[in-house]
């Protein structure tokens, strides 16, 4: 068939969302609001005789007016586009077509990205006006505007990933706000520093190192985070029979590989933020894995049982919480291997025990305390829901505050109680043992006693043993499901 329009070459979801988005009140309001505010601030800058102090004020107000539509309104619209379709039950007819869940989610995100580019392009004339007003470096302003666009695309992907989550509306919006705030502030702190100091002037005077490698590494981790967020959203939109977390977990492993590469760079520029983002992404994927139900659908697991060589891969990459437990152990093992060159075997064991113990503790609590529930007694498909997982994690983390509180209050009794309950949050105990709390454990009367190490070893061993036992039991049920003949 002969192509008549340029839109015929695009994904139908992108065309649909662009047409609806541009005509909608959200984008129109954001565009008009941005233009009116920027015209006002530019007019004031031209009319008033500005001194250096007032120029800084006008510059701050200018970027605030750019932030509101790009970083706040557009990601909110991306979240509403999916949650609205879920509440209206209009996604099922779309999924019955040849469009895959990935194309559906990517199309909605691409439409938001196009709107962000339109808003950024509309703000370019006002950047030139600021340049002609003086005391403004146009290269820095253009780089900073590009950083705002990238931040908008990142937050839109996060909003798209959280909006279809099976959570209460209040909890979903609170989670979205917290994550977008943390990611947006950390991204703009890193990108803003690069735009104003590192990229323009190419290096820190006297440092003798090139910051480009570290900046590219951070941007690579950010790109992986965007792809992982879109993949997570596609998994939640897809039917249970076709949901495959393979690509999501491979992206998490790719982020860890990027963090390992950044860790050996001969500069500390942007290293800490990139590594934190990579570890946070891998941790989020691991948590999503252990919270994923193991639906008893034969087609979900059959590809991993067709060949013997693929069975070990299924322990880490298959759908469901049993493979999620294996993925947690894989991530903890990789983190331990990465820690070997820095602190030897002792540091590696602390890192592995802290990560695996903390991530698997909610799974063990869920499977152990709720084993008498009829729905869970003989059905291994249920893992902890995310609210339950978060509740157990927060309760464990709350116990870890007692020891530092006893140290700060110089209370031997409180310190002793804290050392007893601190291993119940293995990650906090491992961080304290590794010296990440500064003077933690070095002051008089605050030396970590030997029994705390014994409790930590016992807690981690019990958690790992119980998690492995529940996982093996679940895999046996899955194996019987796959090997039984299909119904006639």
- The predicted pLDDT at position 358 comes to 92
**Stretch 9-23: mean pLDDT, rounded?**
69
pLDDT at 346 over 90: no
Mean pLDDT of 418-438: 80
pLDDT at 392 over 90: no
pLDDT averaged over every residue in the chain: 79
Q: How far is CA 164 from CA 167, 195, 245, 272, 283, in A?
A: 8, 34, 16, 31, 20
Q: What is the pLDDT of residue 136?
A: 66
Q: Which residue has the higher pLDDT, 282 or 29?
A: 282
Q: Sorting pLDDT into bands at 50, 70 and 90, what band is 306?
A: confident
Is the confidence at residue 9, as pLDDT, over 80? no
Asked whether the whole model's pTM tops 0.95, one would answer no
Q: How confident is the model at residue 285 (pLDDT cuts 50, 70, 90)?
A: very high
**pLDDT at 162 exceeding the cut of 50:** yes
Tell me: pLDDT of 259 over 90.
Answer: no
- As a whole number, mean pLDDT of residues 313-342 equals 88
Tell me which residue has tokens 């963090």. Answer: 259
The reported pLDDT for the residue numbered 378 is 45
Predicted pLDDT at 208: 46
Mean pLDDT, residues 135-164: 82
Angle between helices 386-399 and 271-290 (to 10 degrees): 120
Q: Which residue has the higher pLDDT, 262 or 13?
A: 262
Map residue 358 onto helix, strand or coil. helix
The tokens describing 386, both together, are: 């995310």
pLDDT for 175 beyond 60:
yes
Q: What is the mean pLDDT of residues 83-105?
A: 74
| pLDDT over threshold 90, residue 458 | yes
Residue 487 has pLDDT above 80, yes or no: no
- Asked if the model's pLDDT at residue 262 lies above 50, the reply is yes
> How would residue 207 be classed by pLDDT, with cut points 50, 70 and 90?
very low
Residues 6+ apart with CB under 8 A from 251: 224, 227, 228, 231, 281, 285
pLDDT of residue 425: 87
Q: Which has the higher per-residue pLDDT, 309 or 392?
A: 392
Q: Tell me the CA distances in angstroms from 168 to 67, 389, 401, 459, one per residue in order.
A: 28, 15, 29, 33
Which is higher by pLDDT, 141 or 224? 224
Calpha distance 399→13 (Å, rounded): 48
pLDDT class of 424 with cuts at 50, 70, 90 = confident
pLDDT reported for residue 130: 73
Lowest-confidence range among 11-15, 189-193, 261-265, 280-284? 11-15
With 50 as the cut, is the pLDDT of residue 200 above it? no
Highest mean pLDDT among 32-41, 151-160, 194-203, 442-451: 151-160
pLDDT at 224: 93
- For residue 329, what are the CA distances in angstroms to 145, 352, 476? 41, 8, 19
| Measured CA distances, 176 to 159, 197, 362, 447 (Å) | 6, 31, 22, 40
Position 462 confidence tier, pLDDT thresholds 50, 70, 90: very high
Q: How far is CA 80 from CA 48, 156, 238, 390, in A?
A: 41, 11, 18, 24
Give percent above pLDDT 90 in the chain: 11
């Amino acid at each position: 068939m002969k192509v008549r329009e340029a839109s015929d070459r695009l994904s139908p979801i992108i065309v649909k969302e662009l047409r609806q988005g541009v005509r909608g009140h959200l984008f129109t309001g954001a565009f008009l609001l941005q233009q009116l505010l920027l015209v006002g601030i530019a007019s004031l800058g031209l009319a008033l005789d500005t001194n250096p102090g007032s120029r800084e004020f006008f510059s701050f107000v200018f970027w605030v007016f750019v932030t509101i539509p790009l970083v706040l309104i557009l990601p909110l619209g991306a979240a509403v586009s999916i949650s609205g379709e879920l509440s209206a039950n209009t996604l099922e007819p779309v999924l019955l077509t040849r469009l895959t869940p990935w194309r559906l989610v990517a199309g909605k995100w691409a439409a938001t990205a196009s709107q962000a580019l339109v808003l950024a392009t509309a703000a370019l004339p006002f950047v030139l006006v600021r340049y002609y007003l003086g005391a403004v470096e146009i290269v820095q302003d253009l780089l900073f505007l590009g950083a705002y666009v990238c931040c908008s695309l990142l937050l839109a992907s996060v909003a798209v990933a959280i909006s279809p989550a099976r959570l209460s509306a209040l909890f979903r919006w609170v989670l979205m706000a917290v994550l977008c705030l943390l990611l947006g502030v950390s991204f703009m702190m890193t990108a803003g520093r690069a735009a104003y100091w590192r990229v323009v002037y190419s290096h820190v005077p006297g440092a003798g190192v090139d910051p480009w490698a570290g900046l590219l590494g951070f941007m690579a981790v950010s790109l992986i985070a965007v792809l992982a967020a879109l993949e997570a959203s596609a998994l939640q939109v897809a039917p249970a029979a076709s949901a495959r977390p393979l690509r999501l977990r491979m992206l998490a492993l790719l982020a860890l590989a990027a963090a390992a590469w950044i860790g050996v760079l001969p500069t500390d520029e942007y290293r800490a933020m990139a590594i934190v983002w990579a570890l946070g992404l891998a941790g989020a994927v691991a948590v999503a894995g252990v919270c994923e139900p193991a639906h008893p659908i034969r087609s979900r697991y059959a590809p991993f049982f067709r060949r013997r060589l693929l069975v070990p891969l299924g322990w880490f990459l298959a759908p469901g919480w049993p493979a999620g437990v294996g993925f947690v152990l894989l991530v903890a093992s990789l983190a331990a291997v990465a820690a070997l060159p820095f602190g030897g075997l002792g540091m590696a064991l602390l890192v592995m025990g802290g990560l695996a113990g903390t991530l698997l503790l909610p799974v063990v609590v869920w499977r152990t305390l709720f084993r008498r529930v009829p729905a869970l007694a003989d059905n291994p498909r249920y893992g902890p829901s995310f609210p339950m997982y978060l509740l157990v994690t927060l309760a464990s983390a709350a116990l870890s505050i007692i020891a530092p509180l006893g140290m700060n209050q110089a209370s031997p009794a409180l310190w002793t109680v804290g050392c007893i309950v601190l291993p119940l949050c293995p990650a906090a105990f491992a961080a304290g043992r590794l010296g990440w709390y500064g003077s933690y454990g070095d002051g008089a009367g605050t030396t970590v006693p030997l029994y705390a190490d014994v409790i930590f070893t016992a807690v981690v061993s019990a958690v790992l043993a119980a998690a492995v036992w529940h996982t093996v039991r679940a895999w046996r049920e899955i194996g019987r499901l796959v090997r039984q003949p299909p119904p006639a």
